[in-house]
Amino acid sequence: MSGLDGIGVKVIDAGGDGSARAVLREIETLLTVLVEKGEEGSIDLSSLPLTPEAYDLLEETLGEGEVTAEVSSLGVTRVHETGIPGVWWVTHYNEDDDVMAEFIEVTHCPEILLTPEDDVKDGLEALRARLFEENMNKSSVE
């Protein structure tokens, strides 16, 4: 039971949209760069003084896209492509589910989804080891 409800606090819209419109303009600029030069860009949302209304406006304008992904490493990272292809929303959570950092990434695919080069090599080795083990097991059964 929290006594907070008893406190007469009203939240009234300060007017304006916080920084949402500025962020949307920046996304437009970054997207233009991606289209014309192929350079990727991103915006650090956690460093901006965004009000809940600004967040809503941002989410509303960008919409939902086709891809949703979840990366489990050092807590969860939720990635989804917005309704604007090439604009991704990346939220890093820690193990307590608090937001560690939040980015808008303007890219063909966010880096966190790509398998790192070294991991591919490690993977190949791991697979070979597993196949070798299986072969050994088979031959020992025969």
Partner 1 sequence: MQDETLLDILKKRGVSRRAFLKFCAAATSLMALPPTMASAVAEALAKAKRPSVIWLSFQECTGCTESLTRSFSPTLESLIFDAISLDYHETLQAAAGTAAEAARETAMKENWGKYLLLVDGSVSTRGGGYYSTVAGKTNLETLKEAAAGAAAVVCIGTCSSFGGIPYAKPNPTGAVPVSDIVKDKPVIHVPGCPPIPAVITGVLVQYLTFGTIPDLDELGRPRSYYGDTIHDRCYRRPYYDQGKFAKSFDDEGARNGWCLFELGCKGPTTHNVCATTKWNQGTSFPIQSGHGCLGCSEPNFWDNGSFYQALSTPIDSVAAAAATAAVVGVAAGVGVGIANHHAKAKAKAEHETVTVNDLEK
Q: Give the 3-state secondary structure of residue 130.
A: helix
Residue showing tokens 């059964």: 141
Check residue 11 for interaction with partner 1 (CB under 8 A).
yes
Q: Alpha-carbon distance 59 to 62, whole Å?
A: 5
Q: Give the 3-state secondary structure of residue 69.
A: strand
Check residue 15 for interaction with partner 1 (CB under 8 A).
yes
Nearer to partner 1, 124 or 136 (CB): 124
Residues 76-115 that bind partner 1 (CB under 8 A): 77, 92, 94-96, 98-101, 103, 111-112
Torsion of CA 23, 90, 47, 42, to 10 degrees: -60
Rounded to the nearest whole angstrom, what is the least distance from the CB of residue 66 to partner 1 in the complex? 22
Binding site for partner 1 (CB under 8 A): 8-12, 14-16, 18, 41-44, 46-49, 51, 71, 73-75, 77, 92, 94-96, 98-101, 103, 111-112, 116, 118-119
